[in-house]
Amino acid sequence: MRITRLLALLLLLLALTLPTEAHDVAISAIKIICRPDDTVVSISTHRSYLLKAEKAGGSKDNSSSSSSSSSSSGSGSMPAPETPEIGQALGRRLHLLINDKKLLPETVHIIEDKPNDLLIWQTTNKNPTKLKPNIEILDRIFPEDSTSITIVTILDDDQSQEILLDSAHPSYQQSQPQDHWAEASSYLQKGILHILSGPDHILFILALLLLGGSLRTLLGIVTAFTVAHSMTLSLAVAGIVRPPAQVIEPLIALSIVAVAVENLRCLSAKNKAKELRAKRDYRAYYAFAFGLIHGFGFAGALLEANLVGPALWIALASFNLGVESGQAMIVAPVAPLLMLLAKKHKDFSDKLIYTGSIAIGLMGAYWFIGQMKF
């Protein structure tokens, strides 16, 4: 087993080069509330991503910044010259026109939620005309990042609109009709990318499949995971249950470790008994139990959008379908290959299970430690 241990060590070293946060946070939201007397505009985003973007050069020219941001709440500013004042940095990234005029904030309030890595910028401007404002957004909050998205919510006369801005559709004019098919397509793509760009979810699926088994067994495992994460994804997006991310992310990492350990236990039992009985294979139960946790992880991408009304359910259905499509892209080639190896090359298959389980378990443990705040 020296070779397999060496391979496991190499994979662990590779894991150490990966970020401890499994998903990107290049997402932001703009909420615009149009009232007869005034217009309320707020921006929310991840504080850490904003700091990273600003240090990298970020958005250089945005005229919506104002010296009035000095009236912000006393949550503190970042020390110069390392980073700009964080509230002004976010305000400069708002490319908003109201009635063909650039937004000039009158009073700005900044809310920093450091434990949850959130930053909110908000302004309320008087509406001298008393007429319904025409809204135009020229670009996303992070236009320099081609993968970033900005969710725009416009509330007006008890009606709401939700618009997804991405690299393909970076701007919005209120006179443009909403394209629900385009929104559905965007969230479908985001669901696929969320799976394929999230190493934690990929490793969890691979760990579930690694031990192999019959087609019926593998279908049962995948189905259990799908049903479970679809349930909690829907509950979280609907606002019924929303556990904090600082609880969910470490649990997702632990789920990877748990399945890896279960694989090693089953492999040991298989070698001793010369067969793996169905009653000893608990992977479907693991898939369902931990799938509930992964569903809350999936929900984060939609919760930050603050969607309401029909757009919420369009986004939820499309995103969930995208997650399933991304999952199928992993299962379809991997499951038959593992079944073939187990049938034709049993010794190599056992070594792969042993090595892969150790490597996956070590990665999960590394991510768990990285998520904990000591």
Concatenated DSSP letters of 84-105: --HHHHHHTT--EEETTEE---
Q: Is this model's pTM higher than 0.75 or not?
A: no
State whether 33 and 17 are in the same domain.
no
* Residues 203, 359: Cα–Cα separation, whole Å: 10
pLDDT of 293 reads 93
Q: Examine residue 351 and state whether it is found in any structural domain, yes or no.
A: yes
State whether 213 and 228 are in the same domain.
yes
pLDDT tens for residues 248-299?
Answer: 889 999 999 999 998 888 887 776 655 444 446 788 899 999 999 999 988 8
The angle subtended at Cα 235 by Cα 232 and Cα 236, nearest 5°, is: 85
* pLDDT score of 74 more than 50: no
State whether 355 and 208 are in the same domain.
yes
Q: How many domains does the chain have?
A: 2
pLDDT of 242 reads 85
Domain containing residue 212: 2-22+198-371
* Residues 54, 83: Cα–Cα separation, whole Å: 7
State whether 91 and 231 are in the same domain.
no
pLDDT tens for residues 176-205?
Answer: 555 567 778 878 888 888 888 878 888 999
* pLDDT score of 53 more than 70: yes
pLDDT of 20 reads 47
State whether 18 and 86 are in the same domain.
no
pLDDT of 162 reads 82
pLDDT of 34 reads 84
Q: Considering only residues 103 and 8, tell me which one the structure prediction assigns the higher pLDDT.
A: 103
Token pair of 35, please?
């009232």
State whether 238 and 165 are in the same domain.
no
Backbone angles phi, psi at 238, to 5 degrees: -75, -5
State whether 156 and 206 are in the same domain.
no
Q: Examine residue 185 and state whether it is found in any structural domain, yes or no.
A: no
* pLDDT score of 310 more than 90: no
State whether 119 and 13 are in the same domain.
no
State whether 263 and 117 are in the same domain.
no
* Residues 203, 226: Cα–Cα separation, whole Å: 15
Reduce the DSSP state of residue 42 to 3 states and report it.
strand
* Residues 309, 161: Cα–Cα separation, whole Å: 9
State whether 218 and 166 are in the same domain.
no
Q: Examine residue 318 and state whether it is found in any structural domain, yes or no.
A: yes
User: What number is the average pLDDT over the span 114-127?
Assistant: 85
Q: Examine residue 308 and state whether it is found in any structural domain, yes or no.
A: yes
Mean pLDDT of the chain: 78
Among candidate residues 149, 178, 207, the one where a domain is terminated:
178
* pLDDT score of 334 more than 70: yes
pLDDT of 304 reads 65
State whether 221 and 318 are in the same domain.
yes
* Nearest Cα to Cα of residue 252 among 204, 300, 287: 204
Among candidate residues 111, 143, 178, the one where a domain is terminated:
178
pLDDT of 168 reads 85
* pLDDT score of 13 more than 80: no
Q: Examine residue 203 and state whether it is found in any structural domain, yes or no.
A: yes
97 Ramachandran zone, left/alpha/beta (phi>0; psi -120 to 50): beta
* Nearest Cα to Cα of residue 45 among 144, 115, 149, 120: 120
Looking only at the bridges linking them, the beta strands covering 27-34 and 149-156 are parallel
Q: Examine residue 191 and state whether it is found in any structural domain, yes or no.
A: no
Q: Considering only residues 126 and 235, tell me which one the structure prediction assigns the higher pLDDT.
A: 235
pLDDT band, residue 329 (cuts 50/70/90): very high
User: What number is the average pLDDT over the span 293-309?
Assistant: 75
* Residues 286, 255: Cα–Cα separation, whole Å: 8
State whether 247 and 296 are in the same domain.
yes
Please say whether the beta carbons of 25 and 46 come within 8 A. yes
Token pair of 331, please?
């299962």
Across the chain, the runs of DSSP E, i.e. the strands, are 27-34, 38-46, 96-98, 101-102, 108-113, 118-126, 135-137, 149-156, 159-165, 172-173
Token pair of 20, please?
């401890």
* pLDDT score of 66 more than 50: no
pLDDT tens for residues 140-171?
Answer: 999 998 888 898 988 876 667 788 888 888 88
Q: Examine residue 231 and state whether it is found in any structural domain, yes or no.
A: yes
pLDDT of 71 reads 38
Token pair of 235, please?
């509950």
pLDDT of 76 reads 38
DSSP assignment of 225-275: HHHHHHHHHHHHHTTS----HHHHHHHHHHHHHHHHHHHHHHHHHHHHHSS
Q: Examine residue 189 and state whether it is found in any structural domain, yes or no.
A: no
Reduce the DSSP state of residue 294 to 3 states and report it.
helix
- DSSP label at 144? T
pLDDT of 362 reads 92
pLDDT band, residue 373 (cuts 50/70/90): low
Please give the single-letter amino acid code of residue 273: A
152 Ramachandran zone, left/alpha/beta (phi>0; psi -120 to 50): beta
